[in-house]
Amino acid sequence: MKKIDEYQDKKVLVMGFGISGINAAHLLVKLGANVTANDKATPKNNDIVEDLEADGIKVITGDNPISLVNEGFDVVVKNPGIPYDNPLVAAFVKQRTPIITEAELGWQIFDGHLVSVTGSNGKTTTTTLTQLMIAENAKHQVKYAGNIGISFSKIAEDLESDDTLVTELSSFQLLGAPTIRPHIAIITNIFSNHLDYHKTRENYINAKLNITRNQTKDDFLVINWDRDEWQKIAQRSQATIVPFSRLNKSHEGAYVEDGMIYWRGQEVMPTKDIRLIGPQNVENALAAIAAAKLSGVTNDAIKKVLTTFSGVRHRLQYVMEYQERLFYNDSKSTDIEATEVALQGFDRPVILLAGGLDRGYTFERLVPYFKKHVKAMIVFGECKDKMRDAGNQAGVPVIESENAITAVPEAWKLSEPGDVILLSPANASWDQFPSFEVRGDKFIEAVEDLTGKKEQ
């Protein structure tokens, strides 16, 4: 951990009692700050409040009182999920009080080698693969943190200058990380996500580009080269560009040619040996390979990881095989693009479980994928009628169920040996579940109840 003094005797407001917010509050106390912690909700577990107060932190819950803007805070550390049009946040913006996220705080105290991953899809898998690959050859600690569910600043506290940290960073986190400078930055892809938060696609892209904003030619930006738009986005970085591509050969980076993965013209391994299924996971592997090779990782270490790693929970996760049916949990597919790539990963008939929060869009884009890959659909949630319309356009049988749990026995009735039963909703979970993780866990429980087996 790097010793810094910029928070000594400063007044800091931490907004949000998530894992990152609580860790940030305690860290700021260690850094000498006078800390107030505020959450709009009242925690059900009073231990959180007692723990904060025991560290000398003033705690305010049940509201974001606008009066806090008049208390002379030097810095606000904001939970990434709190939007900038929140009245209290907007008041601090108007007052020009610096607003950062916990990722910025983690960067400020980190003293090692930083690899950071962002993108619309594939972030967690790429982060995990990269960490595993670098760890295979490392003589020092290699950890991961960030949007993957582990506080950046908490892990950074325990790492030294020879250690490596691989961080998954969302657009929300990056908006509040103005000085972050990873030595290796990865952009997996950029689609049109979170426009309810960012308002425009350009705002969303700009937030993603904060990952490379402070990089120089001595740093590296590993970026997907499969779309012209992403190639143009790369031109906005000062870093050394390292492309990865499933579709375009580039001797400057990682690419696929005739079923073989290459790194700068040298063979690494066949794509067929990657244990993870689907073209999106080939892309994730290419991104991780580029970062690993830039970090000095051997081909043998890369092969070991890619031939054994079976996936991140809720991200096209293999659950089990039962009576010649394969069950997959892809609850993290909360947008159309993710479900597109999930369906492309299967050469067996798919019974698709899909639906969720209605964000106002329709699903015509999925019709060609339904026609090619899906034998039947079970739809649920607020957007079930729109999902049904797309299934009807594709000529696919569609039935309705209450949710992703009740859909499992319905899918089983429709299935035959050789089929895949896939939860890939193409929508957020919030109409019926508090998170995609809960939705995926409940799906797995339903599969276990149906089969009498535990996930593999």
| SS3 letters across 107-161 | HHHCCCEEEEEECCCCHHHHHHHHHHHHHHHCCCCEEEEECCCECHHHHHHCCCC
Q: pLDDT, tens digit, for every residue of 36-68?
A: 999 999 988 789 999 999 999 999 999 999 999
Q: What is the pLDDT of residue 80?
A: 94
| Helix (H/G/I), strand (E/B), else coil: 306 | helix
DSSP labels for 397-446? -EEE-SSTTTHHHHHHHH--TT-EEEE--SS-STTTSSSHHHHHHHHHHH
Over residues 425-447, mean pLDDT: 96
Residue 192, pLDDT > 80, answer no
Contact partners, residue 174, CB within 8 Å, separation at least 6:
103, 118, 180, 207, 208, 210, 211
A 10 A CB-CB count for 91 gives 16
Q: What is the pLDDT of residue 388?
A: 97
Of the candidates 97, 89, 155, the residue with the CA atom closest to the CA atom of residue 127: 155
pLDDT classification of 333: cutoffs 50, 70, 90? very high
Two tokens, residue 329: 């949990």
Q: What is the pLDDT of residue 121?
A: 87
Indicate the burial class of 353 (C-beta count within 10 angstroms; 0-12, 13-18, 19 or more). Answer: buried
Q: What is the pLDDT of residue 26?
A: 97
At residue 5, φ and ψ (nearest 5 deg) are -120, 10
The whole-chain average pLDDT of the chain stands at 95
pLDDT classification of 194: cutoffs 50, 70, 90? confident
Q: What is the pLDDT of residue 44?
A: 80
Q: What is the pLDDT of residue 94?
A: 97
Over residues 240-265, mean pLDDT: 95
Q: What is the pLDDT of residue 38?
A: 97
A 10 A CB-CB count for 167 gives 30
Residue 21, pLDDT > 90, answer yes
Residue 145, pLDDT > 90, answer yes
Domains plus CATH for the chain? 11-100 (3.40.50.720), 103-308 (3.40.1190.10), 317-448 (3.90.190.20)
Residue 171, pLDDT > 90, answer yes
Q: pLDDT, tens digit, for every residue of 422-432?
A: 999 999 999 99
The CA distance from 364 to 69, in Å, is 46
Question: 325-329 and 317-322: which strand pairing?
Answer: antiparallel
Q: What is the pLDDT of residue 63?
A: 96
Contact partners, residue 423, CB within 8 Å, separation at least 6:
328, 329, 330, 331, 353, 404, 407, 439, 440, 443
Residue 195, pLDDT > 80, answer no
Percent of the chain with pLDDT over 70: 100
DSSP structure class, residue 43 = P
**How far from chain centre, in Å, is Cα 200?**
20
| Helix (H/G/I), strand (E/B), else coil: 170 | coil
Q: What is the pLDDT of residue 376?
A: 98
Of the candidates 372, 434, 440, 375, the residue with the CA atom closest to the CA atom of residue 408: 440
Of the candidates 369, 324, 367, 374, the residue with the CA atom closest to the CA atom of residue 351: 374
Which segment of 62-66, 145-149, 219-223, 447-451 scores lowest on mean pLDDT?
A: 145-149
Percent of the chain with pLDDT over 90: 87
Residue 191, pLDDT > 90, answer no
Q: What is the pLDDT of residue 198?
A: 82
Residue 277, pLDDT > 90, answer no
Two tokens, residue 336: 């159309």
Q: What is the pLDDT of residue 455?
A: 86
Q: What is the pLDDT of residue 211?
A: 98
Q: Check: CB of residue 268 under 8 Å from CB of residue 262.
A: yes
Torsion of CA 23, 29, 35, 36, to 10 degrees: 40
Q: What is the pLDDT of residue 337?
A: 87
Q: What is the pLDDT of residue 385?
A: 97
The CA distance from 174 to 178, in Å, is 7
DSSP labels for 385-409? HHHHHHHHHHT--EEE-SSTTTHHH
Residue 402, pLDDT > 80, answer yes
Find tokens 């390979």 and name the residue: 289
Q: What is the pLDDT of residue 398?
A: 98
Measured distance between the N- and C-terminal CA atoms of the chain, rounded to whole angstroms: 38
Over residues 2-26, mean pLDDT: 95
Q: What is the pLDDT of residue 229?
A: 95
